[in-house]
A and B are shown apart, each in its own frame.
Chain A
Amino acid sequence: MARHHEGMRKERLDRGIKVRSDGVYAVGSWREMAFLLAPRLVLILGLLALPLALAQAPYWQKVLSIICIYALLAIGFDFLAHFVGLVSLGGALYIGVGAYLAALLNTELGLPVWATIPLATVLGGGVCTLLLWPCLPLRGVYFAIVSLMFPLLASRIIEALDVFGGTDGVIGVAGFPGVWVEQYLLVVCLLLILFGLRRLVNEDVGLVFRGVKDNDQAVKASGINITTFKALGVFIAASLGCLGGAILAHIYNWAGISQFALDFSIIPIAATVVGGGGTLVGPVIGCLILVPISELLRDFGTLRIAVYALILMAFIVFKSEGLMSFGARKYNQSESWVEI
């Protein structure tokens, strides 16, 4: 088929329902409702069903938890990069701060899990925002580099000063009451945050964020403090990471300097590239693909990274827009070949 198209061109038309649902018109029929809701339901029900489906495979349950934690980071990265205009490599910082805070709150102050996680999320977000505050005027790669320095610094400082348990880390952190609590806490948080953020970026405040990214002079001339909004963006992204870090500490009953590992800074970017930046859902899908691949590749030993890199390169070369953007286009548009 695809080879005989001389004198023809591919025509793409928005499906009628897409055009109408973008406007103010009401959606009229079950079919149309289903068309709009199906992708969301697949994602929601799929994620909610995964822990059950993996009930017989404890190893893959762990992987699912890790996927969710990376997904929180990746959503934060995508939000900061595509809606606030800050390319942050601070993922490792967020995870580390969240993990240490939760661990210390639990072991030193004896707070239970249901208190340490929200506290570590909010306090950690605040700490990370304060650390990154002086860098907020930096743009592009400069912000990226500085945000990458912080996790490196943090682990070296903890090691050198031998604080917070030094190289041993904080041990004896309380675990979750059960694996179901751990899994559903993560999955539900992930879904709420995903849909919440998607809502936020489409509200008026989302337009302000996008203005800060695309047209900061005009935003200043509109009487809005761009530093405040950048800080707010960083706070949101950092809180997501700290939430992940806090949960991680309770999963492993431990917080240590390996939680400042660069994987937490890099994989979210890869996931965003694979899944499609600017969509917020894309990065989650990216994590659902990349993290299991990286687990499966453990069999390759040292070749793991090489194979991983090849897969990533293939994605970037063949589907640079990302899976989510590609999928959304296919879903919302009908394509046909027409005579020129």
Chain B
Amino acid sequence: MAAARAQMSPDQAQPLLSVRGLNKTFGGVQALAEVSFEVRPGDILGVIGPNGSGKTTLVNAITGFIKLDSGRVSFQGRDITGWAPHKIVNRGLTRTFQVMRPYFSLPAFKNLIVPLFSNRARRTGGWRGGGRLGSRDTVAVDILEEIGFERESYVPYKVASSLPTGYLKRLELARCLALRPELIICDEVFSGLSMSEMASMVPLMEKLNLEGITLIMVEHRLRELFRLATRVLVMNFGAKIAEGTPEEVMADEQVKEAYFGSEEVYGYV
């Protein structure tokens, strides 16, 4: 039925990502409970929730880093449940890690050699197809410069272990961009950033979205997130407790109780 309706009204785009009834328990902890949602092309979906509410588990489940107990994930209309992470990535569904995972001993730009080596980057040429034109090193430096690694002060050439958090978060994003993503799931790219780092990160995310990259942003920094997000999904104890526009979510009684009702609200908003 749903498929037929989508064909009848072409303005209603097919969802890019569709998640149905995800469940995952760790020992006795229900980390995900019947989570379902959809993301349309061009969306910026915010995912919020208190600490330990299962946001990172959701990211891991969608991207194949953990095995699900039950539920289905489909991307671009194709069922990707149970696929290995690298296969999912090669379809354009990429993610960042909440705990950054750069290659610390390598210069920043060398960090991008590995994603540029993937099948997808070879086929598509990486972000904006730059890989068709230059060597991997050149493309890597170009990507980094584009997202705020100042080339004139040699930041792309600095060893990753010497870079501050702001750059490491960008490096996580850069890895996704090198893969020419359709969708990036950002796990807390805003946390740990200084005010000035934040000030340039928000426009960067906007720019990526304008280029046609769909975003799912797991965040604790609500003020900035609500400026960006077209829709917001709220999690608590592994379950989705609300979904809607930022305004709708803010007004939801359950959300206020679970999230804003606590003292955390003062820290975050």
Contact = CB atoms under 8 A, between A and B. Distances in A.
Contacts of A205: 117
Interface string A199-211: 0000011011011
B89 A221 contact: yes
A177 interface: no
A215 interface: yes
Given A220-B89, A221-B97, A224-B86, A204 B175 contact: no
A220 to B, nearest CB: 4
Nearest to A220: B85
A214 interface: yes
Contact of A223 (B105, B106, B179): B179
B101 A225 contact: no
Given A204-B136, A223-B90, A223-B179, A210 B65 contact: no
Interface string B76-88: 0000000011110
Nearest to B89: A223
A211 B118 contact: no
Interface stretch (B108-116, B146-154, B211-219): B108-116
A207 to B, nearest CB: 5
Contacts of A222: 86, 89, 114-115, 117-118, 175, 178-179
Contacts of B118: 222-224
A215 B86 contact: no
A5 to B, nearest CB: 31
A217 interface: yes
Interface in A214-244: 214-215, 217-226
B53 interface: no
Contacts of A226: 86
Contacts of A214: 103, 105
B85 A221 contact: yes
B169 interface: no
B125 to A, nearest CB: 14
A220 B97 CA distance: 12
Contact of A217 (B84, B87, B97): B97
Contact of A211 (B63, B95, B114, B120): B114
Contacts of B136: 204
Given A218-B97, A221-B89, A223-B121, A207 B106 contact: yes
A185 B79 CA distance: 54
A25 to B, nearest CB: 14
The binding surface of chain A is classed by DSSP as helix
B94 interface: yes
Interface residues of B, number: 30
Contacts of B86: 220, 222-226
A207 B113 contact: yes
Contact of B63 (A210, A215, A218, A221): A221
B114 A219 contact: yes
B15 interface: no
Nearest to B179: A223
A208 B106 CA distance: 12
Given A220-B86, A223-B86, A208 B117 contact: yes
Contacts of A223: 86, 89-90, 94, 115, 118-121, 179
Contacts of A220: 65, 84-86, 89
B102 interface: yes
Contacts of B116: 204
Contacts of A210: 103
Interface string A250-286: 0000000000000000000000000000000000000
| Residue among B86, B87, B102 having the largest count of chain A Cβ atoms under 10 Å | B86
Given A220-B85, A223-B90, A204 B117 contact: yes
A207 B114 contact: yes
Contacts of B110: 207
A132 B24 CA distance: 32
Contacts of A215: 101-103
A217 B97 CA distance: 9
A218 B119 contact: no
A30 to B, nearest CB: 30
Interface string A94-121: 0000000000000000000000000000
Nearest to A209: B114
B95 A221 contact: yes
Interface of A: 204-205, 207-208, 210-211, 214-215, 217-226
Given A205-B117, A207-B114, 16 more contacts: A204-B116, A207-B106, A207-B110, A211-B114, A215-B102, A215-B103, A217-B101, A218-B101, A218-B175, A221-B94, A222-B115, A222-B117, A223-B120, A224-B114, A224-B115, A225-B87
7 contacts: A207-B110, A214-B105, A221-B85, A221-B94, A223-B119, A223-B120, A225-B86
Closest A-B pairs by Cβ, 7 of them:
A223-B118, A223-B89, A222-B115, A220-B85, A218-B101, A222-B114, A223-B90
